[in-house]
């Protein structure tokens, strides 16, 4: 199966989608389709800089002909089955629209567009074209969140009351130490901003584990207003670099998630979700998940005159892996490829992607207007 991959010189496109997903599938002999055959992914690297693409192809033993700087020609090629997009966010929607109208199946990074209207249009174009489509929802495939899902499915929590999420780390300003994220992330005019980047993730994580988001109240901030770019040049950070959000969920659970690129990590992992239920609580990160059952819950009393005598963190228990976890991006690629090849059902489509864009858009609106906003259910 030939897959045009656009944006493979970027952080996500290269490491997670090319190397850790499609090339990893080739290393294991292709995707086993269960009928004695295997699907063999043939990446075609698309981008703007030919030499960079050729370098990549050479480094990974791909054919030199599997490289192109001409997206239109690639999309006109009947041998291409799937168009994949991991470009900068602002370049995505136009390329997806072209791919859909060329009749390709599409698989894409999030956010699918920077506006809900655009994201919904993509979803309806895809539906009308009858193509198969998918949007990356990698966080749901993380070992920590898979363990959390196992706890939910096993009824561990009783009634789930609340979710507290902490995401973030310090992204260097780029002057005395290089920034570890691309500078477009901090420019609103280039599709940057932590709300546009992270709220789509929070939408599918909350929806997938606890219930659809029914309202949002957010405060977005630009804590570091001036940064230095890849060439060491100063620029104004026009996008938000932190967002403090409260989300009401269908079923009554309240979620609160802080997202920040201006926070120093005092956590076990770069993202952690604490879930409190009537029968038990859990703290899940990328890989680990710790629990405390009601039967093992201590009874602290508030007395600031006395020193703390209990080691509260030590009172939690690690949830065992009980299995092996593959790379989350690869696991989702496998599901999407099975959807394309075998017609297996697939829910993480462009309409699901539009829900993420909707939450980002309403989150920014909530912040700008200083009020809580209902999140209507989307339909095409």
Ligand X SMILES: NC(=O)c1ccc[n+]([C@@H]2O[C@H](COP(=O)([O-])OP(=O)(O)OC[C@H]3O[C@@H](n4cnc5c(N)ncnc54)[C@H](O)[C@@H]3O)[C@@H](O)[C@H]2O)c1
Contacts with ligand X, residue ranges (CB under 6 A): 7, 9-13, 47-48, 86-89, 91, 109, 136, 138, 182, 197
Least Å distance, CB 81 to ligand X, is: 21
| Closest separation in Å from C-beta 239 to ligand X | 12
Rounded to a whole number of angstroms, the minimum distance from the CB of residue 329 to ligand X is 7
CB of 236 to ligand X, least distance (A): 18
Closer Cβ to ligand X, 136 or 243, answer by number: 136
Residue 11 or 226 with smaller CB distance to ligand X = 11
Secondary structure element (H or E) that encloses residue 26, with its range: helix 24-27
- Quote the Cα angle for 282-285-289, to 5°: 40
Whose Cβ is closer to ligand X: residue 95's or residue 160's? 95
Q: Give the nearest distance from C-beta 56 to ligand X in angstroms.
A: 10
Closer CB to ligand X, residue 13 or residue 277? 13
Residues in the chain: 380
Nearer to ligand X, 193 or 280 (CB): 193
Residue reference for tokens 């292709």: 30
Q: Return the residue nearest ligand X (CB atom).
A: 10
Distance from first CA to last CA of the chain, Å, rounded?
30
The C-alpha atoms of residue 346 and residue 10 are separated, in whole angstroms, by 26
User: Which of 198, 342, 351, 344 lies closest to 270, judged by CA?
Assistant: 198
User: Phi and psi of 40, rounded to 5°?
Assistant: -110, 105
* Strand pairing report for 242-249 and 213-221: antiparallel
Burial of residue 73, with CB atoms counted within 10 A of its CB: 0-12 exposed, 13-18 middle, 19 or more buried: exposed
User: By C-beta, is 195 or 291 nearer to ligand X?
Assistant: 195
Strand, helix or coil at 55? helix
Q: Least distance in Å: CB of 110 to ligand X?
A: 6
Would you say 47 or 277 has its CB closer to ligand X?
A: 47
> Token pair of 110, please?
């999030």
Judging by DSSP bridges, how do beta strands 42-46 and 2-6 pair with one another?
Answer: parallel
| Least Cβ distance, residue 156 to ligand X (angstroms) | 27
């Amino acid at each position: 199966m030939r897959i045009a991959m656009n944006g493979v010189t970027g952080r996500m496109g290269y490491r997670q989608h090319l190397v850790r997903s499609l090339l990893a599938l080739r290393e294991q002999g292709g995707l086993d389709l269960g009928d004695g055959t295997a699907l063999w992914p043939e990446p075609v690297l698309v981008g703007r800089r030919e030499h960079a693409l050729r370098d990549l192809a050479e480094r990974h033993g791909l054919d030199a002909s599997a490289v192109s700087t001409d997206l239109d020609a690639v999309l006109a090629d009947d041998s291409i089955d799937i168009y994949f997009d991991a470009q900068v966010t602002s370049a995505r929607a136009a390329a997806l629209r072209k791919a859909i109208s060329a009749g390709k199946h599409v698989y894409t990074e999030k956010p699918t567009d920077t506006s809900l209207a655009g994201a919904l249009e993509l979803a309806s174009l895809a539906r009308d074209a009858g193509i198969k489509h998918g949007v990356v929802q990698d966080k749901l495939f993380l070992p920590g969140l898979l363990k959390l899902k196992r706890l939910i499915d096993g009824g561990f929590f009783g009634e789930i009351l609340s979710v507290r999420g902490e995401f973030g780390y310090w992204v260097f300003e780029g002057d005395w130490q290089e920034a570890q994220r691309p500078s477009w992330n901090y420019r609103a005019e280039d599709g940057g901003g932590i709300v546009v980047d992270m709220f789509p993730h929070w939408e599918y994580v909350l929806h997938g584990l606890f219930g659809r988001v029914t309202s949002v109240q957010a405060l977005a901030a630009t804590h570091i207003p001036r940064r230095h770019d890849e060439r060491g040049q100063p620029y104004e950070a026009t996008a938000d670099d932190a967002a403090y959000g409260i989300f009401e969920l269908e079923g009554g659970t309240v979620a609160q998630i802080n997202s920040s690129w201006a926070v120093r990590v005092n956590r076990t992992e770069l993202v952690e979700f604490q879930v409190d239920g009537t029968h038990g609580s859990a703290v899940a990160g990328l890989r680990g998940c710790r629990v405390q059952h009601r039967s093992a819950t201590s009874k602290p009393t508030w007395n600031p005159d006395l020193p703390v005598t209990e080691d509260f963190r030590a009172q939690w228990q690690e949830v065992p892996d009980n299995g092996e976890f593959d790379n989350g991006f690869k696991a989702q690629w496998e599901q999407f490829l099975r959807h394309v090849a075998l017609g297996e059902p697939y829910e993480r489509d462009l309409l699901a992607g539009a829900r993420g864009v909707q939450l980002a858009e309403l989150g920014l609106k909530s912040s700008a207007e200083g009020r809580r906003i209902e999140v209507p259910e989307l339909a095409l």
